[in-house]
């Protein structure tokens, strides 16, 4: 379960493009931050994805990926050209196929090979046609789905939604959100050539006049229980209300948003209807990482939590420059998972009510974020000195580490999870196995 959103330059305060995403996964699954440089390959080389091999490109671009620790692909990420893509699970009437490309695999391939949103849209639909989509995406339990994508560059954005081999794509006009449901209806800009004919043959509509992609291809039951419609409405409403003055702070507000009535109780019950998703139910999904990109005006800037639960986490600034110490190389994935787990220990301490004063931590976190935002805002337009950017990143990481160490050191050794019995049992089991890496 996830939520992804974009605001184009005609909807933001400064004319930049803003892209944001929460990754909602199984709670013990590290979402790691990996940076991979440009690479060249010999003719005929193969690329091993999560389950299958595909043809490798002659050259791949530099990418920053936010990926489940055991999967080759990524939930979200960007490349050196400012192309950003986010992936969503969607549930459809089409059959779930055998192991093929995961949506996350397709996302990473597109980031590695494309310069802009149009190229990425073309490649994603080509990959879908050539290799198909399928395979388990679950860390500790089996979980299969089809995929949708929000594809953004420095000036344009596309929504691509799939159902098996079929797909529809819509060009974004100003603001747009996607979630764990099909959102494209009767109007779209591109589609699979047999999209409507197949729906008619299946008896889902009578013809083009009454065709609606989401209604015809979506699985209404699973979609309903996913909470996707509530999350989609929450993010879309804020984007519409703030249109013309959207900033990175607006995106933080959305990524931290809970369903009405849950604020203050989010650590005592699950919620699939919150953009900041809290696990603890049979589905169990929880927000394991959050990401914001600001592109298209001056140097591309990013805000990354590097950990779960954005209503607790600190958004730290990031620039894709040489010498930064935030991301990890592909050879350091175990260290990247350790970075994520250290921040996850704070979330578990909160769940177990071991912090003497949660509000004091949140107030200090907010002051730190305000200080970070002020330092970023003080940078002049254009290309600030690399040394200054490295200094800000290093300071933010060190300040977070100091706050994290102080908070965990002051936590009680014993605590009690609050909430209904299943919620308490669920999180007790999850915490007991947090340090034991595994995949399903």
Give the CA angle between residues 66, 428, 334 to the nearest 5°. 30
Is residue 428 assigned to a domain? no
Between 281 and 351, where is the model more confident? 351
Model pLDDT, residue 297: 83
Rounded mean pLDDT, 176-191 = 98
Is residue 426 assigned to a domain? no
209-222 tens-digit pLDDT? 999 999 999 999 98
DSSP string, 217-239: HB-HHHHHHTTHHHHHHHHHHHH
Going 293 to 110 to 24 to 396, the CA torsion angle's sign is negative
pLDDT over 90 for what percent of the chain? 92
Rounded mean pLDDT, 261-281 = 93
Q: Give me the phi and psi of 415, to 5 degrees please.
A: -160, 175
State the catalytic residue, choosing from 2, 78, 276, 311.
2
pLDDT tops 90 at residue 208: yes
Model pLDDT, residue 355: 97
Average pLDDT of the chain is: 96
With CA atoms as reference, report the closest residue to 21 among 104, 99, 77: 77
Is residue 335 assigned to a domain? yes
Rounded mean pLDDT, 217-237 = 94
Strand partners, 150: 86, 159
Binned at pLDDT 50, 70 and 90, residue 382 comes out as low
Rounded mean pLDDT, 356-363 = 97
Is residue 363 assigned to a domain? yes
Model pLDDT, residue 308: 98
Binned at pLDDT 50, 70 and 90, residue 281 comes out as confident
Cα–Cα dist 23/398, whole Å: 25
With CA atoms as reference, report the closest residue to 306 among 370, 231, 400: 400
31-49 tens-digit pLDDT? 999 999 999 999 999 999 9
Cα–Cα dist 322/319, whole Å: 9
323-345 tens-digit pLDDT? 999 999 999 999 999 999 999 99
Model pLDDT, residue 348: 98
Rounded mean pLDDT, 280-306 = 92
Model pLDDT, residue 316: 98
Model pLDDT, residue 278: 96
Residue 205 is among the residues annotated as catalytic for this protein:
no
Model pLDDT, residue 438: 60
Model pLDDT, residue 381: 67
Between 231 and 298, where is the model more confident? 231
Cα–Cα dist 353/257, whole Å: 21
CATH of the domain at 100: 3.60.60.10
When divided into structural domains, the chain yields a total of 1
Is residue 440 assigned to a domain? no
Rounded mean pLDDT, 293-311 = 95
Model pLDDT, residue 435: 80
248-268 tens-digit pLDDT? 999 999 999 999 989 889 999
Q: What is the DSSP letter of 134?
A: B
Is residue 434 assigned to a domain? no
363-380 tens-digit pLDDT? 999 999 999 999 999 886
pLDDT tops 50 at residue 440: no
Give the count of beta carbons closer than 10 Å to the beta carbon of residue 308. Answer: 32
Between 280 and 287, where is the model more confident? 287
What b/e string do you get for 374-399 counting C-beta neighbours within 10 Å, with b at 16 or more?
A: eebeebeeeebeeeebbebbeebbeb
The pTM for the full model equals 0.97
pLDDT tops 50 at residue 303: yes
Cα–Cα dist 151/107, whole Å: 9
Is residue 191 assigned to a domain? yes
Is residue 427 assigned to a domain? no
Contact 15, 295 (CB under 8 A): no
85-119 tens-digit pLDDT? 999 999 999 999 899 999 999 999 999 999 999 99
pLDDT tops 70 at residue 207: yes
Cα–Cα dist 162/191, whole Å: 10
Model pLDDT, residue 192: 98
Domain that holds residue 34: 2-409
pLDDT over 70 for what percent of the chain? 98
């Amino acid at each position: 379960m996830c939520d992804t959103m974009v605001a184009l330059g005609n909807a933001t305060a400064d004319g930049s493009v803003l892209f944001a995403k929460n990754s909602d996964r199984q709670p013990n699954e590290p979402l790691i931050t990996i940076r991979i440089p440009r690479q060249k390959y010999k003719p005929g080389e193969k690329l091993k994805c999560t389950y299958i091999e595909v043809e490798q490109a002659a050259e791949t671009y530099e990418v920053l990926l936010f990926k489940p620790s055991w999967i080759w692909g990524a939930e979200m990420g960007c490349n050196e050209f400012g192309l950003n893509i986010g992936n969503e699970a969607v549930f459809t009437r089409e059959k779930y196929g055998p192991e093929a490309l995961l949506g996350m695999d397709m996302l990473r391939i597109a980031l590695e090979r494309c310069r802009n949103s149009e190229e990425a849209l073309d490649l994603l639909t080509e990959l879908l046609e050539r290799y198909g989509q399928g395979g388990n995406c679950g860390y500790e339990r089996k979980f299969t789905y089809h995929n949708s994508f929000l594809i953004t560059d420095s000036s344009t954005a596309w929504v691509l939604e799939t159902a098996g081999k079929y797909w529809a794509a819509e060009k974004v006009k100003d603001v747009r959100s996607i979630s764990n449901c099909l959102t494209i209806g009767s109007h779209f800009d591109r589609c699979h050539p047999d999209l409507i004919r197949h729906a008619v043959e299946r008896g889902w509509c009578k013809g083009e006049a009454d065709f609606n992609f989401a209604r015809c291809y979506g699985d209404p039951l699973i979609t309903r229980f996913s909470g996707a419609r509530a999350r989609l409405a929450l993010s879309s409403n804020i984007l519409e209300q703030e249109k013309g003055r959207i900033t990175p702070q607006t995106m933080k507000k959305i990524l931290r948003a809970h369903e009405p009535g849950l604020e203050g109780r989010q650590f005592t019950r699950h919620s699939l209807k919150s953009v900041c998703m809290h696990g603890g139910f049979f589905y169990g999904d929880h927000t394991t990482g959050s990401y914001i990109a600001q592109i298209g005006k001056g140097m591309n800037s990013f805000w990354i939590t590097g950990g779960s639960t954005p209503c607790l986490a600190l958004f730290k600034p990031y620039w894709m420059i040489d010498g930064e110490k935030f991301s990890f190389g592909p050879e350091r994935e175990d260290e990247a998972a350790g970075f994520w787990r250290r921040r996850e220990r704070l979330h578990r301490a909160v769940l177990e009510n071991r912090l003497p004063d949660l509000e004091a931590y949140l107030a200090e976190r907010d002051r730190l974020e305000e200080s970070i935002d002020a330092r970023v805002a003080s940078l002049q337009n254009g290309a600030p000195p690399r040394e200054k950017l490295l200094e800000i990143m290093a300071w933010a990481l060190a300040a977070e580490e100091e706050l994290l160490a102080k908070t965990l050191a002051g936590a009680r050794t014993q605590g009690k999870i609050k909430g209904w019995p299943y919620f308490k049992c669920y999180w007790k089991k999850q915490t007991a196995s947090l340090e034991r890496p595994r995949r399903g």
